[in-house]
A = this chain, B = another copy of it.
Amino acid sequence: MTSLRDVAERAQVAVSTASAALNGTRPVAAATRLRVERAAEELGYRPNLLARGLQSKRTRILALLFPAPHSGFGPTEMQFATGAAEAARELGHHLLLSPEHADPIEELRHLTGLGLVDGVLLMEVRLDDERARFLSGAGVPFAMIGRTRDPAGIDYADIDFAATAGDAVAHVAGLGHRKLAFFNLSAGTYAAQYGPSIRAGAEFAAAARQAGIGYVGDFRPGSAEEGGEAFDRLLAEHPDVTALAVMDDHAAVGVIAAVARRGWRIPEDLTLLLVLSSARVAEMFHPRLTTLEPPSAELGRLGAQMLIDRLRGDGPPRQRLVPCRLVAGDSSAPPREGVTS
């Protein structure tokens, strides 16, 4: 391991000068800087991050708190991680993947106490999130992918549910549908105050109201089986529904099966939208479902960027909402004939 001292010796300067020459922390004569840079180059010098961090109190390491594989665990979560890791890298930082388990607070206390990370990135944020509260209280810089109920003063990147719901409703309304149903995430996630569950529900209702079309939003199937049941009940109670937006992948599977059992076809008899699911998943269906694809990688990137900006200095907190992208598949079409509404 070649150290800064080696470089300094070779360039015939003091260590502090070598340091300054490489970091630009204080003026250095052009000639000197050149000598130092050449020496560093020739020796293949790499600054020791530990030494630097010990001194400067900044490690340039971010931690991504990763929830235990409970509920959903699709490409979405993964892309938060990869997006964040890539952005961090581009900005000269590193990303620690920190699996969260039993006691997330103890976990955080440990992680931040070690002096290893400069800041924390939170995902799967709940409306009332104890982790966010803890970090705020502890004065640890952090940013969220998602957001709490009242995220004032906190950096975050989240899905723009209002715009997403608006796009979805506009899509089906544009096709002529007059009544839309929405299958939210499982009751469990809703009860857990999971942001997307709550917000998507509210925004779809609002968007439908605003567009002046009928709306049914009180189903929360969390599995294929529940999805099928929910669909049957939906049509029993609301036979005039012609379009359905589903949040849970597995519920969608059940819906599709139920549609087939009924002798119906997609999209002729039902327009089906998949919400918050990746295009990769949508391609697994037949027909390929129209999808509102979450900007997962971008949210991850944004989260990391915001956090790093925050560490660099302090501007006002940045709060970004990014809508899902509507990827048209083969599951949307004008409403079926003979609907009595």
Taking the complex as formed, is A24 at the interface, i.e. its CB lies under 8 A from any CB of chain B?
no
Q: Which residues of B are found within 8 Å of A61, using beta-carbon distances?
A: 96
Binary contact track A84-103/B, C-beta < 8 Å → 1, others 0: 01100100001111110100
Give the distance in Å from the alpha carbon of A51 to the alpha carbon of B50 in the complex: 7
Residue pair B97, A85 in contact (C-beta under 8 Å): yes
Q: How many copies does the complex hold?
A: 2
Residue pair A94, B89 in contact (C-beta under 8 Å): no
Residue pair A46, B115 in contact (C-beta under 8 Å): yes
Give the distance in Å from the alpha carbon of A88 to the alpha carbon of B253 in the complex: 36
Residue pair B284, A64 in contact (C-beta under 8 Å): no
- Quick one: given A53-B50, A281-B284, are A99 and B116 in contact (CB under 8 Å)? no
Q: In the assembled complex, how far is the CB of residue A69 from the closest CB belonging to chain B, in whole angstroms?
A: 6
Contacting residue for A50 out of B89, B96, B115, B280, CB 8 A: B115
Q: What residue of chain B has the Cβ atom nearest to residue A77's Cβ?
A: B78
Q: What residue of chain B has the Cβ atom nearest to residue A79's Cβ?
A: B69
Taking the complex as formed, is A250 at the interface, i.e. its CB lies under 8 A from any CB of chain B?
yes
Total residues of chain A contacting the partner, CB 8 A? 52
A-B contact pairs, 12 of them (CB 8 A): A46-B113, A46-B114, A49-B116, A50-B50, A50-B54, A51-B115, A78-B78, A82-B97, A86-B101, A89-B99, A95-B98, A257-B286
Give the distance in Å from the alpha carbon of A73 to the alpha carbon of B61 in the complex: 25
Taking the complex as formed, is A264 at the interface, i.e. its CB lies under 8 A from any CB of chain B?
no
Q: Which residues of B are found within 8 Å of A1, using beta-carbon distances?
A: 115
Residue pair B47, A114 in contact (C-beta under 8 Å): yes
Give the distance in Å from the alpha carbon of A47 to the alpha carbon of B116 in the complex: 10
Q: Which residues of B are found within 8 Å of A256, using beta-carbon distances?
A: 286
Residue pair A96, B99 in contact (C-beta under 8 Å): no
Give the distance in Å from the alpha carbon of A260 to the alpha carbon of B46 in the complex: 59
